[in-house]
A and B are shown apart, each in its own frame.
Chain A
Amino acid sequence: MISSPTIDQILEGVLIAIDDEIMPSLAANPKAQATAQMMQSLIQGVRQMLPVVDEQLVDEHNGMIRTLADTAAALGDVSGDAADRLRERAATLGQWDPLPDLPDRDAITAAHLELGRAIEASFLDLDELQRAGVASADDALDVVRAHLGSRYMRDAETIVVGDGFVGRG
């Protein structure tokens, strides 16, 4: 995956471009101006959601399991169909295993970067060995390339939109 620019930097860049490149052209069109401001607001909202969405998903998932169990427990010995349905949910969904806490994102990012730099440095060492005539360095290079090849294809499939360069006349 492409980690630089970050998703947040890209979204921030779009906000800046709306300010710098689009807003000045919309002065005579209040509706378009309001639309652009709403776009900025939505994009800013996405920026604020992205860092917390996974953590909140897990937190809320586990909280709902606990809540279903606790709700039935708080009900006590009440009888009737409604109470039975509440107890049924507590006995099934309320007994799900909680999801584990997400690993620290900054730690994952730092480790990913460190591993990536190590892969990158391998090219320099393998080049040195190849130039020295070490035949097995060719095979070793293929190992590195095989790992990266599928990642480049996946990246392209993930982030490329349409075919070609927008605005290229």
Chain B
Amino acid sequence: MGGEFEQQVVAMLRGILPDAEHVEIHEFGPIPGGFSRETYRFDATIHIEGTRERHPLILRMDPPESVAILDTSRAIEHDLIEAIRLNTEIPVTESLGHEMDRSVFGEAAMIIRRSHGNSSTTDLFHDGPDTHQVDDVVRHLCESLVELHQADISTLDPDGRLHDPRGVGIDASSWDRYMDTTFEYYLDNYPKINREPMLCILLDSFLTLRRNKPRPLPLSLVHGDFNPANFLYADGRVAALIDWENARVGDPREDLGWMMMMDDLSNTKIMSHPADEGGFLAYYNKLTGYEITEQELGYFILFGTANIAVPINDAIKRRVDGKNRELLHLYLVQSSASALPGMAQLLQYPGVPA
């Protein structure tokens, strides 16, 4: 990434901060990891009215359209982060602005503030250095999730753009319509993503989900990728909930189910805390009165897996069909193969051990 690119970042910051007399970029470099966005960290020194402040920042950029996995909008993500930051106590980092004109960076981008705190949340578990903080951090994490799920949707999403942010035909006007149109989205897309018969476990899961709808709960704003890697913590508190690109209106059990699955895959123990409240789900139920069961979460693990399986397998199909040269999309075949026995287990396939 050359100096010209960094100059574009400077120009974007000057557009966001029109009072800035001078902007300097330091230590610009990529952050490895993350399947869906290209992310860079840097510091910016901003000179305004004789003062000089150094700001730790992140540039989140869309990948090229042909290789993108999740089709989400940086403008919507920016607006949501700012709505949450300004209207709730949920800890998020400030989003400074977005650039949707692809001629600037090549793809849409946004600049957000880097949060303080530890992003290695595994330090909270097992013999990690921060096990003494785990109950307090997870308690705050649960309270933040409850606040998100109980927030007024129209306050955080005044234009209704999070009712169907991927533009796939979801109707979130009621819980039933949300669920039914989501099943339609899954089933309608199956032929499009279907590159080989062994994907039929997805078809089975879509049909099983449709046959076994659980009781309704009030729709809420959901994070959409609520997992042990998507928060930072410091001093017994969550410093920031991050990565809001998949946020949408949905069923609050989606976030809980996803966390339950990722907690298991990540070998963390979020769901076991706060211990004095009987764990994450018990505390969540205490705060909301929803009385959600683990069986319901099993349903929403499948529901959430389906939600991510559609775009991932769409990307793999595009690669297999020769639409791009991206190795990642081939690698996804290998890295996602381990998820299929897990799905088979949730669907209670005979002979698949628990």
Contact = CB atoms under 8 A, between A and B. Distances in A.
Contact of A148 (B320, B333, B349): B349
Interface string B328-350: 00110111011011011001111
B330 A119 contact: no
A10 B316 CA distance: 11
B340 A123 contact: no
B211 A145 contact: no
B340 A120 contact: no
Interface stretch (A30-38, A41-49, A77-85, A158-166): A158-166
B344 A5 contact: no
Contacts of A13: 319, 325, 327, 330
A127 B211 contact: yes
B249 to A, nearest CB: 27
Interface string A111-153: 0010011011001100100110000000000100110111111
B201 A148 contact: yes
Interface string B308-335: 0000000010011000010100110111
* Chain A, interface SS category: helix
A100 interface: no
The B interface, classified by DSSP as helix, strand, loop or mixed, is helix
A159 B334 contact: yes
Interface of B: 31-35, 195-198, 200-201, 203-204, 207, 210-211, 229, 265, 316, 319-320, 325, 327, 330-331, 333-335, 337-338, 340-341, 343-344, 347-352
B330 A10 contact: yes
A123 B344 CA distance: 14
A29 interface: no
Nearest to A161: B334
Contacts of B32: 167, 169
A148 B33 contact: no
Contacts of B210: 127
A145 B330 contact: no
Contacts of B196: 2-4, 113, 116
Contact of A142 (B211, B319, B335, B350): B350
B337 A155 contact: yes
Contacts of A131: 211
Interface stretch (A15-23, A50-58, A62-70, A90-98): A15-23
A14 interface: yes
A152 B201 contact: yes
Contacts of A159: 333-334, 337
A140 to B, nearest CB: 12
A166 B335 contact: yes
A168 interface: yes
Given A5-B320, A152-B352, A145 B344 contact: yes
A145 B334 contact: no
Given A119-B197, A165-B35, 12 more contacts: A2-B198, A2-B337, A5-B333, A20-B325, A113-B196, A116-B198, A145-B348, A148-B200, A149-B344, A153-B352, A164-B335, A168-B229
Contacts of A163: 338
B313 to A, nearest CB: 11
Contacts of A10: 330, 333
Given A4-B195, A159-B337, A161-B334, A120 B203 contact: yes
A36 to B, nearest CB: 14
Contacts of A71: none
A21 B338 contact: no
Contacts of A119: 197, 200
A164 B201 CA distance: 21
Nearest to B320: A5
